[in-house]
Amino acid sequence: MNSNDLMQMGAQLFKSQLDNNRDGNVDITEISSALNSLFSAGQSQSNSGAGGLAGIISGMQSSGNSDLLSLAASWLGSGTNKPVSGNQLEQIFGEDKISAFSQQLGISQEQALSGLQATVPDVVDKASPSGNIDLNAMLDSIGGIQGALNMAGKFFAK
């Protein structure tokens, strides 16, 4: 599943959450774009330089926070995905990125967090059918091969 498919699936999940709360006047295309921006930003605590889903999972795994480590393991594993709290989402993405996401969609931060709680575990799970982030999804999230080369160039220029 490529990153566009993942974001479309995530947008559908997010929209159904908004619809359930009777706040569903946000377009699927807008949600998909906002999700792509949020996931492309990577993990706020990650120092690896990796963005996208790989950066998010890497940051969760290296955070030293046992709750985030347990979440990452459940999302990557083949069992049931553990639910994520709003506070944990703010730790994973950063409050500023959650705020930007909600502003992009014109919804409250609480609505954004509620929708993301239903969406993020499934998106990560679908991106990692074998327990690892799908390479194609990871490459898409950093701008393809050119993005990977740019990232490597920045890494080796230090």
pLDDT digits (tens, 9 = 90+) for 50-80: 557 778 888 888 888 899 989 988 988 888 8
Res 140 pLDDT > 60 = no
Report H helices in the chain. Answer: 3-20, 28-40, 52-62, 66-76, 86-93, 95-105, 109-127, 135-141, 144-157
Confidence (pTM): 0.74
CA distances (Å), origin 136, targets 7, 97, 108: 14, 24, 32
**CATH number, domain at 136?**
1.10.10.690
Band the pLDDT of 49: cuts 50, 70, 90: very low
Q: Which residues form the domain of 34?
A: 3-157
Band the pLDDT of 48: cuts 50, 70, 90: very low
When divided into structural domains, the chain yields a total of 1
CA-nearest of 29, 33, 64, 31 to 46 is: 64
pLDDT at 117: 95
8 Å CB contact between 107 and 99: no
